[in-house]
């Protein structure tokens, strides 16, 4: 099936297909359904898992996708890089250390594929080993951080930033590498990159990061032999960056590593360590158990899975520290983390005799799926909820990935997920209702594969309706490629002087026939020269010396425009 939807003057091509996904109907007889309830703050990394009575790891339940899909715990660069939330360098080994070490799984640790020692501690300067980056983008300056909301995770350099994906070292990590890469460049990517998704074993439990300040429901099935083996302990670990207090306070320059060549880029991330809550319950007995007290906190460095006991160094309010899981009330129970077992024996346990039952069923797929481009970085997915829906809708889950490789059951794990908040959807979801939900964090003028499905509170899910779509180009954005020589000389395309030269090119040279001819010749002749310059510190220095007078004049000429741009930009033009 293929059609085109035209709204607001934007034409979006869609190729629709169904992707089959697992559901409770495929579960083995005797499996027990568990519900995990919590309300996190925004921007949190979260893991939920089960342990037996002896404290042995039993089963993964849930992990947020920055850790499970995008590999923030295991990526190239220094662990203490002063970077930002959508920058691909600088692993975060302290993100969820109690969970990571409890799993007792190890992976090869990633380092830069760039083999130049002088570049091993740099946020830039990796052009010779970089390839197109489908999700991450350059770090922010402090000024940009004030303008660009961290809640929306907007990128300041869409479809222009290229990254060094890394290679394996002889060391190991308790975190997996990223699994979202499906396209590779032989000349720039190390052969190890093609194996990342094979090593990442978390695709079945990885889910979108919750928007925050809204109750969350995560469901999981446990096999009969696990349920019948005795009590289980459910643990949830939660962490957010830059969650500082008086005890866990960190200086931007002294406690983080600042790249001296790009000192204005990056924002602090160190703060209080991860916080763990746990609940012990009997899985075969129907009922609810919960807690409002945290069990302890993790190792900030991530070197161990030690759970440190609660103490007064951890904050307990204002969404900080132990208050990263909010106190809320559900079915007359007030808690921070709760587990409801649908059980197999009934009778009740803990503080609740039971609040409902579930059935295995196959959900009818969403119909009338259409796409509307709202902006260069936002799509609106329209659909109709099936009339025969008998249960309560738990959530709508949306998927996206750059490129032309369709979303299928085999490739769905490489997609980025979003669960839209209520304010990101139209009419409330109900049987027979036609409504829409928005998908954001996208790049302009980019080919995407997009998918949507819904799930009920009993862990049943529909098939994914998948589509191919090209987002519209951002107005005023230049998208044809790097300023090669200037980028090689200054290390990164977002350097202030490179931006100034780009403005002169776009606003002056390309507006006259002679200037456009000069630009065309530059793009023909400069890539080989840029590659030669990038390989040599001496050549870089000489190129910068040659460009400096021109760059300074360009900065003076564009000072007004760039100041205005810096106050209003959502994403930076590229060139």
Of 383, 364, 363, which is closest to residue 437 (Cα–Cα)? 383
Which are the contacts of 353, defined by CB distance < 8 A and separation ≥ 6? 286, 287, 347
Q: Tokens in use for 452?
A: 């949507």
In the sheet where 378-384 sits, what is the strand order?
367-375, 378-384, 434-439
Q: Tokens in use for 422?
A: 């209520």
Please give the chain's pLDDT, 575 residues, in tens.
222 222 222 333 334 566 765 555 444 567 899 999 999 998 899 999 999 999 999 999 999 999 999 999 999 999 999 887 788 999 999 999 999 999 999 999 999 999 888 788 888 878 789 898 999 988 877 777 666 654 455 676 555 688 999 999 999 999 999 999 999 999 899 999 999 999 999 999 999 988 889 899 999 999 999 999 989 999 999 999 999 999 999 999 999 999 887 888 888 899 999 999 999 999 999 999 999 999 999 999 999 999 999 999 999 999 999 999 999 998 889 999 999 998 876 544 554 555 666 777 778 889 999 999 888 889 999 999 998 876 677 789 999 998 888 888 788 888 999 999 888 999 888 889 999 999 988 888 889 999 999 988 777 888 999 889 998 876 644 333 446 556 655 556 656 666 666 666 666 665 677 665 555 545 444 555 555 555 566 766 776 677 677 667 766 766 655 444 343 333 332 22
Residue 54: CB atoms within 10 Å: 6
| Nearest-angstrom CA–CA distance, 454 and 429 | 10
pTM assigned to the model: 0.79
Helix, coil or strand: residue 545: helix
Give the Cα-Cα-Cα angle 158, 489, 111 (nearest 5 degrees).
65
Q: Which residues pair with 4 in a beta bridge?
A: 13
Give the Cα-Cα-Cα angle 110, 113, 117 (nearest 5 degrees).
105
Give the pLDDT score at 284.
92
| Nearest-angstrom CA–CA distance, 406 and 388 | 29
Helix, coil or strand: residue 373: strand
Q: Which residues pair with 51 in a beta bridge?
A: 57, 233
Give the pLDDT score at 160.
66
Which are the contacts of 19, defined by CB distance < 8 A and separation ≥ 6? 407, 408, 409, 412, 451, 453, 463, 464, 465, 466
Which are the contacts of 261, defined by CB distance < 8 A and separation ≥ 6? 122, 124, 125, 491
| Nearest-angstrom CA–CA distance, 175 and 47 | 12
| Nearest-angstrom CA–CA distance, 358 and 340 | 12
Three-state SS string over 196-258 comes to HHHHCCCCCCEECCCCCCCCEEEEEEECHHHHCCCCEEEEEEEECCCCCCCCCCCCCCCCCEC
Q: Tokens in use for 174?
A: 């308790």
Q: CB–CB of 184/130 below 8 Å?
A: no
Q: CB–CB of 88/113 below 8 Å?
A: no
CATH topology of domain 2-22+360-470: Immunoglobulin-like (2.60.40)
| Nearest-angstrom CA–CA distance, 263 and 526 | 27
Give the pLDDT score at 484.
53
Q: CB–CB of 491/124 below 8 Å?
A: yes
| Domain range annotation of the chain | 2-22+360-470, 28-341, 484-568
In this structure, what are the phi and psi dihedrals at residue 168, rounded to the nearest 5 degrees?
-75, 145
| Nearest-angstrom CA–CA distance, 258 and 266 | 8
Q: Which residues pair with 373 in a beta bridge?
A: 379
Q: Which residues pair with 400 in a beta bridge?
A: 416, 450
Q: What is the DSSP letter of 303?
A: S
């Amino acid at each position: 099936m293929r059609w085109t939807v035209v709204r607001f003057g934007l034409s979006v091509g869609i190729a629709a297909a169904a992707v089959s996904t697992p559901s409770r109907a495929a579960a083995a007889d005797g499996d027990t359904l568990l519900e995990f309830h919590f309300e996190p703050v925004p921007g949190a990394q979260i893991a939920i898992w089960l342990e037996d009575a002896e404290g042995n790891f039993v089963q993964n339940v849930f992990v947020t996708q920055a850790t499970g899909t995008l590999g923030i715990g295991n990526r190239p660069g220094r662990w203490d890089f002063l970077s930002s939330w959508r920058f691909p360098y600088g692993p975060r080994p302290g993100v969820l250390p109690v969970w990571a070490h409890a799993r007792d799984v190890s992976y090869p640790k990633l380092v830069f594929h760039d083999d130049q020692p002088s570049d091993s501690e740099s946020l830039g300067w990796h052009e010779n080993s970089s390839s197109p980056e489908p999700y991450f983008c350059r770090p922010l300056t402090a000024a940009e951080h004030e303008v660009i909301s961290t809640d929306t995770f907007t990128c300041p350099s869409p479809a222009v930033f290229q990254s060094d994906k890394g290679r394996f070292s002889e060391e190991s990590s308790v975190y997996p590498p990223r699994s979202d890469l499906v396209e590779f460049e032989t000349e720039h990517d190390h052969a190890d990159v093609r194996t990342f998704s094979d090593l990442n074993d978390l695709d079945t439990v990885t889910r979108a990061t919750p928007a925050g300040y809204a109750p969350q429901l995560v469901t999981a099935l446990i096999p009969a032999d696990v349920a019948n083996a005795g009590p289980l302990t459910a643990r949830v670990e939660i962490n957010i960056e830059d969650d500082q207090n008086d005890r866990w306070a960190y200086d931007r320059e002294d406690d983080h590593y600042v790249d001296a060549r790009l000192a204005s880029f990056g924002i602090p991330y160190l703060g209080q360590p991860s916080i763990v809550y746990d609940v012990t319950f009997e899985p075969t007995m129907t009922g609810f158990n919960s807690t409002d007290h945290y069990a302890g906190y993790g190792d900030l460095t991530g070197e161990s899975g030690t759970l440190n006991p609660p103490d007064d160094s951890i904050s307990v309010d204002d969404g900080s520290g132990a208050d990263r899981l909010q106190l809320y009330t559900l079915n007359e129970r007030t808690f921070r983390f709760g587990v409801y077992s649908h059980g197999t024996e009934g009778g009740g346990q803990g503080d609740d005799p039971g609040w409902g039952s579930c059935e295995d069923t196959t959900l009818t797929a969403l119909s009338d799926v259409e796409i509307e481009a709202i902006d260069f970085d936002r799509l609106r997915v329209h659909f109709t909820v099936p009339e025969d829906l008998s249960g309560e809708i738990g959530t709508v889950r949306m998927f996206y990935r750059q490129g032309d490789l369709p979303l299928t059951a085999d490739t769905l794990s490489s997609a980025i997920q979003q669960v839209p908040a209520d304010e990101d959807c139209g009419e409330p979801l109900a049987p027979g209702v036609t409504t829409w939900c928005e998908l954001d964090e996208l790049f302009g003028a980019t080919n995407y594969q997009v998918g949507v499905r819904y799930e009920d509170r009993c862990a049943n899910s529909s098939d994914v309706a998948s589509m191919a779509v090209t987002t519209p180009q951002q107005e005023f954005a230049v998208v044809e490629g790097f300023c090669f020589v200037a980028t090689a000389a200054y290390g990164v395309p977002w350097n202030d002087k490179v931006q100034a030269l780009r403005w002169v090119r776009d606003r002056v040279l390309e507006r006259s026939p002679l200037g456009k001819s000069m630009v065309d010749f530059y793009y023909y002749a400069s890539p080989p020269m840029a590659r030669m310059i990038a390989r040599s510190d001496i050549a870089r220095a000489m190129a910068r010396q040659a460009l400096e007078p021109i760059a300074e004049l360009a900065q003076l000429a564009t000072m007004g425009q760039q100041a205005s741009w810096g106050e209003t930009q959502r994403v930076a033009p590229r060139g």
